[in-house]
Amino acid sequence: MPLALIILLPLTGACLPALMRGRSSRLLASVSALPAIFTLLLLLSWLPHVMGGGEAEVQRLSWLPSLGLDVAFRLDGLGLLFALLITGIGCLILLYARYYFEGKDTSARFFTLVLLFMAAMLGIVLSENLLFLLVFWELTSLVSFLLIGYHTHDHAARLGARMSLVITGGGGLALLGGVVLLGQAAGSYELSTVLAAGDRIRTHEHYGLMLNLILLGAFTKSAQFPFHLWLPHAMTAPTPVSAYLHSATMVKAGLFLVARLHPALGDTSLWFHLVTLTGMMTLMLGAFVAMFMHDMKGLLAYSTVSHLGLVMLLLGLGTPMAVAAALFHLLCHALFKAPLFMMAGYVDRATGTRDMRKINGMWRFMPALMGLSAISAAAMAGLPLMSGYLSKKMLFGESLQVTAPDWAVVVIPLWVTLAGLFSVAYSIRIFHNVFFNGRPIDLPIWPPASPRAAALSPIALLAFATLLVGLAPEAFYAGLIHPAFAAARQAMVTPFDFTTLGGRVPMLMSLFALAGGALFYHWRDPLFRLHARLPEVDAKEIFDWLMRSAIALSQRRVFQLENGSLQRYLTFIMATVVVLVGLELGDVTRWHGGAALAPIDPLTLLAAVLLCLAAIGVVAFHHYRLPALLLLGVTGLFVTVTFARFSAPDLALTQLMVEVMAVVIMMLALSFLPQTSPRGSTGFRMGRDLAIAVLMGVGVAAFSFAILTRPHRTISDFFLANSVPGGGGTNVVNVILVDFRGFDTLGEITVLGIAALAVFAFTRDLHLKERVVETNPMHWVAEPHPIMLSTVARLVLPIALLVSAYIFLRGHNLPGGGFIAGLITAVALTLQYMAGGLVWAQSRMLTAFRPLIGAGVLIATATGLGSWLFGFPFLTSAHGHLHLPLVGEFELATAMLFDLGVYATVVGSTLLILANLGKLMTVAGPGKEIG
Amino acid sequence: MELLYAIMLGVLTSCGVYLLLRARTFTVILGLTLLSHAVNLYLFASGRLVAGAPAIVGLSERSADPLPQALVLTAIVIGFAMTAFVVVLALKAAVELRNDHVDGENPDEDRA
């Protein structure tokens, strides 16, 4: 039977209540119980195997073998004990919630989250891989966050939820670090390997760090001092949540982890000190504070903290039977604490308050609840014959077994006895204060109604189990605890001998605690008064202060760096580039790569100088925008010349056309923007930017020179060799574009089309009337459409179109092709716009630019798809020779069809951009959209 | 020749970056254009500087590297589309924010 099913059942089952929002809690609870009960049955079916001392069952599914990450589950005694607790108590909680939420509007969220939590918790205890364990660990933190903040409208609930998330989430991060270290030390994240590698891990150089980090995770989760803080504040959750997550299960995840990793990490001096001391502090603090809590759930929360400390203490102790005692107490605690929480929930609902100074004398109203709670409270106090009595005596017995260090031999037995005394006192208190102690005072709800008999069933079942454990501890030990003990030690262990509990000293300690606790409670009034006079140390204040400072600090840092100025960010980015690249370039020792330098001819030198001067001119005149723009055009022309000079006719043609279009577009924009840029930059800023810019230029020049003078290796030989036989064209650049790298080109024309459409969308509702107020309006042209220009333009158009057709057709063999022909067409049509005006041009032109773009991309794609029809890969081209009368023989390639798509897209995009920008400038305003 | 070409790239880059760091959108667009010239020329030059040998089969003995040329060709066209897009963004910002400062609010020029 796959173990994954145990986790998957509640995980998928969690969807059921989510789909049934708004239904009655009865229906929801019944539906949610189904997966939970199935899971429980599955687990019980494993019980014989585990009780019989069977091997740990490990099941794995290969997932990412390269990372050593398998989906792996492990079921052994320890896992089974916890899994049974999780599902068993989970089922009872569902039953309890059915009554608790009765008559409340929405509880579907609760049931979903509880099932989710159950799955996550089962994931922790059944994971074989530590990384998986971590994922489930975080999942429990998240679900716990959602459940604590269940009453989303309640401020205190939100704060409590946040606090628990910060503390347990922070612990989870520490745990992540620890687990990674552990996995590296052990060589694997699989528990089977890790648990067997204890000796290697304990002598590893990072053992201390690893242990600290892992324990930090466990301590935060299990609410150990000083991280216990979140648990009392989590009591804002609905009571079923408190009973389930914050007493019986989730807070035990930390204990589980410590017990689980005990063979790998445990039994060193560091382990003893960290775990035992933390446990001792938590035990005492929780027990002491619990005594003085007036809030029922607060008292139970602190008592939970104290019991968690007790188990932690035992796990650290290192005596032979301490782990068995710890596991036994863990079981007992879950069995008696959950019903006490349930009791508190019912009393809270019936009376409307949780303040024990008001709730008194409930035995009159809820006799049955009183009887059942008596059993649980007695077990918590450790009265004879109860389960808690046995576990407490086991604790006392183990505390006497400690032999080293010296202080511990004396201190620990005294310490646990004193804590035992407190626990007796608070156990008496919650029972006596709630059910006796006179009459109720000022209850918000009067008279309190007793919960229905059926509603008491989960409490009764748990109380019954508590009694059973107390009466037949050997059977429970043999069935559940011993296999878990053996699994936690990863060794053959002798069973715990319950006859040793009869020893004199543990008996005396136990009697002393009982009598002392009773007396303590008897004299509670003066003690309460004394306690009220103690200075109030509220750990929450410290936590809040820490949070506030952390937030304020990070805010200050963020604002220092991020003040909303894009100009500033860009400066930072550029400066970073200069620094980082500069550091790398600093290592270059030989700038000249060795290749022979080509000689400089005067004409090229002149062009280069002019190009540089034009670029510098743009900078120098950038406050006067029109001259700057013209100089920019000059720069572009010299770039064109550069391409032509160095054997790139296709690039030169493209650059030329683009330059014309770009300048026209910027000119259009400029007619609308201010004509000058104000001089506002401080001298410092200009100097700094100049320094960045010059450094950047020097860097670019230096490494360009280094590259240019190094030997040239290229993959282009393939293209040159295959251009004619494979692509059917002699212009290799064009063949690469439409054939070899046709898929890239398809992507590029799509981008082009998208950019054009974005321009269209932006200009559609741009209203120029709200333009920047021009302080010094400038009249651009006296004659908007000079007659000379419009006459010539009309003549030029057919010639230009003919040229563009020629360039297109010859593109496969000589410089040209779809891009260039498209740009030529666009420029020719642009000229018509400029010469005749928008209205004139539009009335004489097809303006379906957007369909044209779409058609272009579709043609190109269809050409590619066409090759599928013939069983070739996408965009395979075919070519052949055609003989037409008159024209003669010429070569026709499917690539030409592809190029047609490119052509259409380029024409459509360019004109769409231009026409829509031009439209903005018309006197009539935006008008209707073009394209 | 290589040295001259490298210096040219350096000048174009410097001018582009300096303008890019100015405060007004139009100037930034000017800078962007100069910078894209520099980038295109740089990419193109990764095929080395060859004179008089276009990448056309059968035209001459040796041939310039066609691959960077094909890359740069599409880069030029897309660069143009991007320039147009940035221009429209600048217009839109100028209309909606009523100023043409890159940070969107009329400042005393620098805010750093």
ipTM of the complex: 0.94
Of B22, B38, B84, the CB nearest to A759: B84
Q: What dihedral do alpha carbons A129, A135, A138, A140 form, nearest 10°? A: -80
Residues of B whose CB is below 8 A from A615:
11-12, 15-16, 34
Q: Give pairs for A2-7: CB < 8 Å, separation 24+.
A: A2/A59, A3/A57, A3/A59, A3/A73, A3/A74, A3/A75, A3/A126, A4/A59, A4/A61, A4/A71, A4/A73, A5/A42, A6/A39, A6/A42, A6/A43, A6/A73, A6/A83, A6/A122, A6/A126, A7/A73, A7/A119, A7/A122, A7/A123, A7/A126
Distances A851 to A461, A756, A908 between C-alpha atoms, Å: 74, 12, 8
* Model pLDDT, residue B10: 95
What's chain A's average pLDDT? 87
Residues of A whose CB is below 8 A from B56:
730-732, 813-815
Token look-up 């919650």 returns A430
pLDDT value at A141 more than 90? yes
Query: Closest by alpha carbon to A284, among A303, A258, A299, A270?
Result: A303
Q: Please state the rounded mean pLDDT for residues A815-820.
A: 89
Tell me: the pLDDT tens digits for A705-763?
A: 999 998 888 888 888 888 888 777 888 888 888 888 888 899 999 999 999 999 998 88
Position with higher pLDDT, A177 vs B52: A177
- Beta A879-884 vs A69-75: how paired, if at all? unpaired
User: Does residue A395 contact residue A419 with C-beta atoms inside 8 Å?
Assistant: no
DSSP A678: -
**pLDDT exceeding 90 applies to what percent of chain A?**
40
Q: Please state the rounded mean pLDDT for residues A225-244.
A: 88
Of B21, B47, B69, the CB nearest to A689: B21
Of A618, A724, A756, the CB nearest to B15: A618
Contact B48 A712 (CB under 8 A): yes
pLDDT value at A780 more than 60? no
Residues of B whose CB is below 8 A from A665:
83-84, 87
Contact A731 B70 (CB under 8 A): no
Q: Please state the rounded mean pLDDT for residues A89-108.
A: 85
Tell me: the pLDDT tens digits for A861-891?
A: 988 888 777 777 777 777 766 666 655 555 6
* Model pLDDT, residue A217: 94
Residues of A whose CB is below 8 A from B36:
none
Tell me: the pLDDT tens digits for A269-299?
A: 899 999 999 999 999 999 988 888 888 999 9
User: Does residue A797 contact residue A832 with C-beta atoms inside 8 Å?
Assistant: yes
Chain B: give the shortest CA distance to residue A815, in Å. Answer: 8
Chain B: give the shortest CA distance to residue A798, in Å. Answer: 24
d(Cα A681, Cα B109) in Å, to the nearest integer? 6
Specify burial of residue A527 (Cβ count, 10 A radius: 0-12, 13-18, 19+): middle
Residues of A whose CB is below 8 A from B32:
none
Residues of B whose CB is below 8 A from A768:
95
pLDDT value at A772 more than 60? no
The DSSP annotation for A409-431 comes to HHHHHHHHHHHHHHHHHHHHHHH
- Best to test chain A binding among B17, B19, B98 (most A CBs inside 10 Å): B17
Contact B29 A666 (CB under 8 A): yes
Could you tell me the two tokens for A815?
């410089």
Q: Please state the rounded mean pLDDT for residues A44-61.
A: 85
- Best to test chain B binding among A708, A718, A736, A741 (most B CBs inside 10 Å): A708
Query: Closest by alpha carbon to A283, among A381, A419, A421, A414?
Result: A419
Chain B: give the shortest CA distance to residue A696, in Å. Answer: 6
Of B41, B66, B103, the CB nearest to A732: B66
Coil, strand or helix: which one is A195? Answer: helix
d(Cα A181, Cα A381) in Å, to the nearest integer? 41
Q: Please state the rounded mean pLDDT for residues A404-409.
A: 81
Contact A755 B56 (CB under 8 A): no
Residues of B whose CB is below 8 A from A559:
none
Position with higher pLDDT, A127 vs A867: A127
Of B48, B91, B107, the CB nearest to A766: B91
Tell me: the pLDDT tens digits for A782-807?
A: 566 778 888 888 899 999 999 999 98
B112 — pLDDT class (breaks 50, 70, 90): very low
Measured in degrees and rounded to the nearest 5, phi and psi for residue A697 equal: -60, -45
Q: Please state the rounded mean pLDDT for residues A895-910.
A: 90
Specify burial of residue A888 (Cβ count, 10 A radius: 0-12, 13-18, 19+): exposed
Residues of A whose CB is below 8 A from B83:
662, 665-666
Contacts of A512 (CB under 8 A, 6+ apart): A417, A421
Distances A354 to A156, A300, A655 between C-alpha atoms, Å: 15, 11, 80
d(Cα A459, Cα A100) in Å, to the nearest integer? 12
Contacts of B36 (CB under 8 A, 6+ apart): B16, B75, B79, B83
Tell me: the pLDDT tens digits for A470-484?
A: 888 888 888 888 888
Of A651, A669, A762, the CB nearest to B69: A651
Which chain B residue is nearest to residue A728, measuring alpha carbons? Answer: B57
Contacts of A704 (CB under 8 A, 6+ apart): B5, B6, B9, B10, B42, B45
- Report which secondary-structure segment, H or E, holds A59: strand A57-64
Q: Please state the rounded mean pLDDT for residues A50-77.
A: 83
* Model pLDDT, residue A878: 72
d(Cα A193, Cα A184) in Å, to the nearest integer? 11
Contact B17 A814 (CB under 8 A): no
d(Cα A28, Cα A115) in Å, to the nearest integer? 12
First to last CA, chain B: 41
* Model pLDDT, residue A55: 81
Of A566, A639, A661, the CB nearest to B41: A639
- Beta A879-884 vs A888-893: how paired, if at all? antiparallel
* Model pLDDT, residue B38: 95
Could you tell me the two tokens for B25?
């959108």
pLDDT value at A649 more than 60? yes
Q: Return the HEC string of A547-568.
A: HHHHHHHHHHHHHHHCCCCHHH
Amino acid identity at A705: F
pLDDT value at B12 more than 50? yes
Distances A19 to A9, A140, B93 between C-alpha atoms, Å: 16, 22, 46
Coil, strand or helix: which one is A778? Answer: coil
Of B14, B56, B70, the CB nearest to A741: B70
Helix axes A207-221, A252-260, angle to 10 degrees: 150
Q: Please state the rounded mean pLDDT for residues A650-678.
A: 88
Residues of B whose CB is below 8 A from A712:
47-48, 65
> In chain A, what are the domain boundaries?
597-677, 731-931
Instruction: Centre a 10 Å sphere on the Cβ of residue A474 and count the other Cβ atoms it contains.
Output: 13
Contacts of A145 (CB under 8 A, 6+ apart): A161, A162, A164, A165
Chain A: give the shortest CA distance to residue B35, in Å. Answer: 10
